[in-house]
Chain A
């Protein structure tokens, strides 16, 4: 099987999405609360991931 090729952002997005859904479903009871928690978690995963990426940018070359 040939290796799956994803960009850094695609990998981050898929990871954040799947982990956020699982955390939301496991940590909250009401469906509405689960969706809210997953959305908030996804948002912070992306913001912090991209933020850390930019912080490391000066050291990458």
Chain B
């Protein structure tokens, strides 16, 4: 019988990465949310850190450059607040997008509408990356 742990098995992840307790893993996930790629960098997952930083950064800069709608918490309706949660998912890039988009959104054109989606996708991807950091730090994923 073969005793080797198959690739991708959670047990293999536990053997190759440092396992943090719940509190530290949550702090790492928060760091990953605040600065895209930081959580993976702390876990020494350099390729993932670079990929998260570049992909989230590029999506935010493209979305803001296309003058997509960047939602704020002050919006009245629930869907706009959901939009804010998605946008704020990109951490510090939310404020980067605010400073890039100094002329405000323009969703009267298709570009602005696409920009809104790109900004939201950046946030949701970063939240996914933060969740991945939490799981990796707990030793459940690598």
* Chain A positions near chain B (C-beta within 8 angstroms): 1, 3-6, 8, 11, 14-15, 18-19, 21-23, 25-26, 29-31
Contacts and interface: CB of A to CB of B under 8 A. Distances in A.
B48 A25 contact: yes
A15 B102 CA distance: 23
Contact of A1 (B47, B65, B111, B117): B65
Main SS at interface, chain B: helix
B47 A26 contact: no
Contacts of B125: 19, 22-23
B51 A22 contact: yes
B138 interface: no
Contacts of A30: 7
The prevalent SS among residues of A at the interface is: helix
Given A18-B59, A19-B121, A4 B65 contact: yes
B117 A15 contact: yes
Interface of B: 7-8, 47-48, 51-52, 55-56, 58-59, 62, 65-67, 100-103, 106, 109-112, 114-115, 117-118, 121, 125, 128-129, 132, 142
B55 A3 contact: no
Nearest to A4: B65
